[in-house]
């Protein structure tokens, strides 16, 4: 625990506590917000989790997350196109997504292995250009479910596709119950923690150990008989598949598929969250993922209503942005300091 909670996390916790106390003072119902924050944790948590494999393999923050996200969107589009609904629809979407993500991840890894040492910046550009490329694809995508097509032209995909009649909120509505006015989606939480546990288990296996070793010291790993490029490739595929599953969870909770430029910025909130969780851009733990994911989202959940009641609304938004971004910057600086003094 000592290793877990460091000054950046303490500052955020204090910030969160101040917000919570203000919320109580302003009579904003906290129980609903707590429920919302849990939903948000899972909604975004899988995307945050998807950064972990690449961080652990020393490839850095996956700013190319849009690659995985697009794979997920494609998978879901396929499921919607074939009118798959309910649990089966989500499962089908996830299966399609994972399959596409394996292919995308493999190609993405080929590229990243060619730019060793500059992966983060390369990934950023891969992400951006891939999203643009996909914009072209979406506008001519050969899907034929009329619920997905442009309402005027009748060809190409809409900007957003509603999932309500397919598999929207499937996870959210599983085993949902109210306790003390807090709406808890047990299914959603269980799914997330199961996925976390699965990732944790993978890092306990031989290939998982190899991934971590490659991240820490490539030369050592190579001398230990590890095929470094293969391990890196697997890590990138792993990240991409998790990213694809992440957007499935996100979209089912949000209730809409967002196509075109929507995935463009997806990597940044996830990266912010993992940094707030205490990752320093190197080996990262599941604990840091969950902590960071929760803190980042909880601040969003509480700060909005509090700030709207407390101050001039526009001013509130600026303050919130300033505070979260400064904290991320501080977390980065603090992490950097730790690395240097080590």
Among positions 44-63, residues that touch another protein (CB under 8 A) are: none
Measure the CA–CA gap between 289 and 297, rounded to whole angstroms: 12
Per CB under 8 A, 182 contacts another protein: no
> Under the criterion CB under 8 A, does residue 26 sit at the interface with another protein?
no
Shortest CB 233 distance to another protein, Å: 8
Residues between 221 and 240 with contacts to another protein, criterion CB under 8 A: 222-227, 230, 233-234
Find the part of the chain contacting another protein (CB under 8 A) among 55-63, 112-120, 188-196, 209-217.
209-217
Residue pointed to by tokens 């629809």 = 89
CA distance 93 to 248: 7
DSSP string, 33-73: HHHHHHHHHHHHHHHHHTTHHHHHTT----TTHHHHHHHHH
Residue number, 287 or 305, with CB nearest to another protein: 305
Sequence-ordered alpha helix ranges (H) in 83-173: 86-114, 119-140
CB 90, CB 252: distance < 8 Å = yes
**In this chain, which of 308, 310, 323, 330 binds another protein, going by CB under 8 A?**
308
Residue 282 main-chain phi, psi, to 5 deg: -115, -140
> Which of positions 249-278 make contact with another protein (CB under 8 A)?
254-256, 258, 260, 262, 264-266, 268-269, 272
Q: Tell me whether residue 180 or residue 219 sits nearer to another protein (CB atom).
A: 219
The reply to whether 164 sits near another protein by the rule CB under 8 A is yes
Of 173 and 217, the one with the shorter C-beta distance to another protein is: 217
Tell whether the torsion through CA atoms of 161, 165, 170 and 173 is positive or negative. Answer: positive
List binders of another protein among 89-118 (CB under 8 A). 96, 99-100, 102-103, 106
Residue among 2 and 154 whose Cβ is closer to another protein: 154
The footprint of another protein on residues 186-205 (CB under 8 A) is 201-202, 204-205
Two tokens, residue 285: 């733990």
Query: Which residues, numbered 319-338, are part of the site for another protein (CB under 8 A)?
Result: 320-321, 325
- Residues 120-159 binding another protein (CB under 8 A) are 135-136, 139, 142-147, 149-156, 158-159
Angstrom CA distances, 159 to 43, 78, 153, stand at 20, 16, 13
Alpha-carbon distance of 40 to 253, in angstroms, equals: 9
């Amino acid at each position: 625990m000592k290793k877990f909670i460091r000054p950046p996390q303490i500052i955020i916790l204090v910030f969160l506590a101040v917000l919570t106390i203000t919320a109580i003072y302003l009579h904003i119902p906290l129980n609903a917000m707590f429920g919302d924050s849990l939903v948000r944790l899972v909604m975004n948590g899988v995307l945050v989790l998807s950064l972990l494999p690449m961080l652990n393999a020393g490839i850095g923050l996956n700013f190319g997350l849009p690659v995985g996200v697009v794979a997920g969107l494609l998978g879901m589009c396929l499921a919607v196109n074939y009118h798959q609904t309910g649990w089966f629809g989500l499962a089908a979407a996830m299966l399609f997504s994972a399959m596409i993500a394996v292919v995308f991840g493999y190609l993405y890894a080929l590229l990243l292995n060619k730019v060793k040492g500059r992966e983060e910046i390369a990934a950023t550009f891969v992400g951006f250009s891939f999203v643009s490329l996909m914009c072209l694809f979406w506008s001519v995508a050969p899907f034929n479910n009329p619920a997905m097509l442009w309402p005027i032209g009748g060809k190409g995909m809409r900007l957003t596709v509603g999932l309500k009649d397919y598999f929207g909120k499937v996870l959210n509505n599983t085993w949902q119950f109210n306790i003390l006015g807090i709406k808890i989606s047990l299914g959603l939480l269980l799914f997330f923690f199961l996925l976390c546990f699965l990732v944790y288990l993978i890092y306990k296996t031989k290939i998982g150990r190899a991934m971590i070793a490659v991240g820490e010291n490539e030369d050592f790993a190579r001398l230990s008989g590890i095929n470094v490029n293969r391990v890196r490739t697997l890590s990138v595929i792993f990240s991409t598949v998790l990213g694809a599953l992440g957007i499935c969870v996100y979209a089912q909770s949000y209730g809409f598929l967002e196509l075109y430029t929507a995935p463009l910025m997806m990597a940044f909130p996830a990266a912010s969250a993992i940094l707030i969780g205490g990752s320093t851009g190197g080996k990262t733990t599941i604990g840091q993922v969950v902590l960071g994911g929760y803190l980042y989202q909880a601040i969003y959940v509480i700060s909005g209503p509090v700030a709207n009641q407390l101050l001039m609304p526009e001013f509130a938004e600026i303050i919130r942005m300033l505070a979260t971004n400064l904290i991320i910057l501080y977390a980065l600086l603090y992490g950097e300091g730790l690395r240097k003094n080590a």
